[in-house]
Amino acid sequence: MSKELVIALSAYEKRSLARFLLIYLGSIYAFICLLAWMFYTIEIKNLHENYALKMRAVASSIAHKIVTAHMMEDDTLQKCLEEKPAETCFGLEEAYQLGLFGESNAPLHVSFSEPVDFTKTFYLANDSFYARDESSQEHLGIHTIVLKYAHISNAINLLRSQVLLYFLLSLSFATVLGYVLAKQFLKPIQEEINHLDTFIKDSTHELNTPITAILMSIGTLKNVDEKKRKRIELSAKRIATLYGNLSYMLLHDKQNEDKSDVDVKKLIAQRLEYFADLMASKQIDLTLNLSEKSLHVNEESLIKLIDNLLSNAIKYNRFEGSIEVTLDFEKLSVKDNGIGIASSKLDDITKRYKRANSDKGGFGIGLDIVNTICKTNDFRLEISSIEGEGSTFSIYF
């Protein structure tokens, strides 16, 4: 396949493609199943009608020979019936069996043992078709002719095999067509996403050097009002956090994460120190319940997870609010008494570019990153929130 036709999909785009194919193929499969059932039903009906016409024609031919023999006073047929099977006398195919009945349906020459339903002219029973004909008009004492065609299941099984083959071919064609169409529909969208990702990637790359320079230079500032210095430092840290989130979002699908044993308690303490000034600016009361805990994870990913939980707890908290960070053997939880999240938004809050509150700014990528890291490491994210009272984000290991 040429490079022009290859579309590299991110995990998010793969999920979107999978959902599209599920809906498209589900509806197409249901439609094909309906068509296959209708086709099979019609073919079974045609099979019955074709055999009915054929067997009635054969029975009518037998009746004609009986009438002719009687009218011509030819005893050859009568002698043949006394000496040989009836099928031989009338030159029938091997698949046929013949029954000749006299008055009151008394058996005269019958080569099958199954009982006959004399109320029907054509019917299916015992894996055989039966055709009844009374046009012999009691010539040679024969009142009713019953023709049997055995092993009809062979023809039905052949029909089923054909229908199944057509069904599977149709499913395969629909699947391939759906996949090709989906990829073609995604191609222009993918190109635009790549342009946007390239722009953001280049922009964040250009931001890295000045952000680092600002953070390193803040500590060397002299003769600067302390409040102004703190304000510059907090702003620089916000930009640095946003830069880190954008970089992770762009590169996560394309990088292999090296895992190591990480002291989670120590890492939380380090990140709390990083956010200390930001919490102090809102006079937030911090409560810690930290137990020793070690995880085998990628340290940078865990930093992103902790930073986003702490950043959200601070950003969406009230002035003089509180934050409680708990770490034990099974989970890490961050609880705040901020503005909370409306129950109608809880299901979508972890989706990319979704925000619970547009007044506080942000890009709606923080919890998407948290959710992605949880899925990558088989963690479970649980969110409980009451609007106006606060939220609790729990990560179960």
User: Tokens 């996403």 correspond to what residue?
Assistant: 193
Amino acid 195: pLDDT: 76
Selected residue with higher pLDDT from 234 and 160: 160
Residues 349 and 312: beta-carbon distance below 8 Å = no
Give the pLDDT confidence score for residue 368 in this predicted structure.
83
Domain boundaries, the chain: 14-151, 258-396
Which residue, among 295, 310, 301, 194, has the nearest Cα to 244 in the 3D structure? Answer: 301
Owner of token pair 């023999």? 69
Give residue 21's pLDDT: 76
pLDDT band at 345 (very low <50, low <70, confident <90, very high): confident
Mean pLDDT of 307-323: 89
Split at pLDDT 50, 70, 90, the class of 155 is: confident
Residue 261 pLDDT grade (very low, low, confident, very high; cuts 50, 70, 90): very high
CA distances from 291 to 132, 275, 321 (A): 90, 20, 24
Residue 1 has pLDDT above 50, yes or no: no
Beta strands in the chain (DSSP E): 96-101, 107-110, 122-125, 128-133, 144-149, 260-263, 285-290, 294-297, 322-327, 331-336, 380-386, 390-396
Task: Return d(Cα 334, Cα 395) in angstroms, integer.
Answer: 9
- Could you tell me which residue, 343 or 318, shows the higher pLDDT? 318
Q: Tokens standing for 181?
A: 């169409």
What DSSP letter does each residue of 2-65 carry, written as one string? -GGG--PPPHHHHHHHHHHHHHHHHHHHHHHHHHHHHHHHHHHHHHHHHHHHHHHHHHHHHHHH
Q: What is the pLDDT of residues 279-314, one digit of tens each?
A: 888 899 999 999 999 999 988 889 889 988 998 888
Q: Is the dihedral of CA 353, 355, 360, 366 positive or negative?
A: negative
**pLDDT per residue over 156-190, tens digit each?**
899 899 989 998 998 888 888 887 877 777 777 77
User: Whose CA is closest to 304, among 252, 352, 355?
Assistant: 252
Residue 7's pLDDT band (boundaries 50, 70, 90)?
A: very low
* Per-residue confidence (pLDDT) for residue 12, from 0 to 100: 61
Give the max Cα distance, the chain.
139
Give the containing element (helix H, strand E) for 82: helix 76-83
State the residue for tokens 């803040």. Answer: 218
Q: Kindly indicate the confidence band of residue 5, based on its pLDDT and cuts at 50, 70 and 90.
A: very low
Note the pLDDT of residue 130.
Answer: 95
pLDDT at 334 over 80: yes
Give mean pLDDT, residues 91-105. 91
Mean pLDDT is lowest, of 4-18, 26-40, 98-112, for: 4-18
Q: Which fold has domain 258-396?
A: Heat Shock Protein 90 (3.30.565)
pLDDT of 347: 77
pLDDT tens for 214-229 read: 666 666 666 667 667 6
pLDDT of 4 over the 60 cut = no
Average pLDDT, the chain: 83
Amino acid at 328: D
pLDDT at res. 97: 94
Listed range (46-55, 254-263, 354-363) with the worst mean pLDDT:
354-363
Residue 3, pLDDT score: 39
Q: H-helix or E-strand containing 156?
A: helix 153-218
DSSP, collapsed to helix, strand or coil, labels residue 288 as strand
**How buried is residue 191: exposed, middle or buried, by Cβ count under 10 Å (0-12/13-18/19+)?**
exposed
Q: What is the C-alpha separation between 307 and 322, in angstroms, rounded? A: 17
pLDDT number for residue 285: 92
Q: Pick the closest to residue 179 from 30, 11, 10, 18 (CA basis).
A: 18
Reported as a pLDDT band with limits 50, 70 and 90, residue 354 is low
- Judged against a pLDDT cut of 50, whether residue 2 lies above it is answered with no
Q: Which residues contact 378 (CB under 8 A, 6 or more apart)?
A: none
Query: For the chain, how big is the Rg over CA atoms in Å?
Result: 42
User: Does the predicted TM-score (pTM) go above 0.75?
Assistant: no
Please state the rounded mean pLDDT for residues 337-357. Answer: 76
Q: Taking 70 as the threshold, does the pLDDT of residue 211 lie above it? A: no
DSSP structure string for 227-279: HHHHHHHHHHHHHHHHHHHHHHHHHGGG-PPP-EEEEHHHHHHHHHHHTHHHH
> To 10 degrees, what angle do helices 11-71 and 153-218 make?
170
Residue 9 has pLDDT above 70, yes or no: no
